[in-house]
Structure 1
Amino acid sequence: MQPLPHYYHVQSHASPSNYLRVKSHSLPDLNVASPLEFDGPGGQWSPATLLMSSLSSSYLISFKTLARHAQLDWVEIDCVSNGLLDRVEKITQFVTIKHNITLKLNSKSSAEEALMLLHKAEEICLISNSMKCEIILDCNISIV
């Protein structure tokens, strides 16, 4: 890892009749729109789905890093993240994020060690650590 601090840059552009366009350096552009829940057109990434994607992918990257250092012998991991958006004291915000995690281990791996690493990944996840809402893990570990 490069020394901190790190800086991340995105540029968003909008016009009255088009989707928002989000750009970052040499990455592919993304079209972004309000979700159906906010009377948007749907069919595009929304700020809320991008947030869920950031949480889920950052969590998995944290787990992969820990698993590599612990030499955990795992096959695959899936993380389905669901965010509950509600109004709290007149402010619309995410109140809970739930990660439903399915981890498949090789037969020589310890499910107890894997569970500890799954929880540790949440503790060190930089996106999760930037959130103020409750984050819940629901872990399902199987040996294959």
Structure 2
Amino acid sequence: MESAHVYNVDIEWLQDRKGVASSPELDNTVEVVTPPEFPKGIAGVWSPEHFFVAAVNSCLMTTFLAVAENSKLNFVSFKSQATGTLEKVEGKFMMTKVLLKPHVVLPEGESPERAQKVLTMSEKACLISNSVKSEVVMDATVTFA
């Protein structure tokens, strides 16, 4: 794997507080808006704040998938809920905390302690979590199918 990778994202304003995100590397586009908590924000559409939390949460998943595979951890399912807290700090809004709540279901005979270790390794190795100033907290659960 190369030591540097480049990801391109283009944003184009459409109208009001709405635009569209695209990438020359991807087929899909995604609408993006100012969230409704802000003046003239729009409800029901992805916002930068949603994308931020989704980036941290999806990075945990993709890192978990790689670490689990390399560790030969068998699992039945992986789901994760994430909550981002946006606060004003020293006069500026910032995402101060992202709470990750992954839930891994194991087949009988697999070790829950090993699964917790893989989750912890995944959280520590997540490149997005390692790239942001926000506190990232994980509250994982592991159960059997």
Shift of 1:27: 2.4
Runs of 4+ displaced beyond 3 Å: 15-18
**2:127 aligned partner:** 126
On the 8 A contact 1:102/1:140 being kept in 2, the answer is yes
Shift of 1:5: 0.6
Shift of 1:17: 3.5
**2:21 aligned partner:** 22
Name the CA distance, whole Å, in 2 between partners of 1:121 and 1:115.
10
TM-score by length of 1: 0.94
SS in 2 for 1:31: strand
What does 1:17-56 correspond to in 2, within 5 Å? 17=16, 19-25=18-24, 26-39=26-39, 40-56=41-57
On the 8 A contact 1:10/1:23 being kept in 2, the answer is yes
On the 8 A contact 2:17/2:42 being kept in 1, the answer is no
Superposition RMSD in Å? 1.2
Shift of 1:109: 0.8
| Sequence identity (%) | 26
Shift of 1:32: 0.5
What does 1:53-68 correspond to in 2, within 5 Å? 53-68=54-69
Size of the aligned set, in residue pairs, is: 143
SS in 2 for 1:79: strand
Q: Are 1:86 and 2:87 counterparts?
A: yes
Residue-by-residue CA offset, 1:56-112 (whole Å, 9 max, x unaligned): 111100001000011111000111010111011112101111001111001121100
Name the CA distance, whole Å, in 2 between partners of 1:44 and 1:56.
18
TM-score by length of 2: 0.93
Name the CA distance, whole Å, in 1 between partners of 2:17 and 2:135.
34
**1:107 aligned partner:** 108
Instruction: Give the residue type in structure 1 aligned to 2:99.
Output: K
On the 8 A contact 1:73/1:108 being kept in 2, the answer is no
Instruction: Return 5+ residue gaps in structure 2 as ranges.
Output: none
